[in-house]
Structure 1
């Protein structure tokens, strides 16, 4: 079992993955463009002794407090959940002994993600490959 802590969940979302999710769900190109414009134009500054310095461009993640962020994050997690179902059909993937009877490869909660497989390198590697799409 691999447990992924999603406390900083919005920070891990890959912009490329988000864009691929939106396109795969057949959102209109103009809508995808608007969403990606909102997400990718974020810049950050550092406050030192009350003075703001620099503008650093972001490279991943969703903005905290943005009304769109929860919905975009849920779309990404749902799509990730679908990606995690595919390993069960992969040759060489072995289920965890407890979860194999019901075919569970993952469980997602509010701030945790649990991935299940047997502990061999191939099975764990397959699940980590799925996780790499999200992050």
Structure 2
């Protein structure tokens, strides 16, 4: 996946497992460029990114937009002020993942925060 959010740094807040995939809720994001990300939910398969679901703002507006990076494309899903709240964003991201990967919400398992930090650190290397 070549097209993806441009980040200086981020913190893995939560980690989820579903099938062959791992999902990470990323927060405390420092972006590169004019697009700022409040939150990102990244989906990885064998440490390779396959999807990013983002809450993003441009430098000229405080309005929050939902974006998806997938198949080397960026899709703008429209504005969503509610997604400036982390738990609302996470709920919407998990529902999007369920639709995209044809899985049930109950099949997504949250893992301990320590797992998120350790695993995401290995993916980033």
TM-score w.r.t. length of structure 2? 0.29
Q: Which is richer in helix? A: 1
Larger RCO: 1 or 2 (CA < 8 Å, sep 6+): 1
TM-score w.r.t. length of structure 1? 0.27
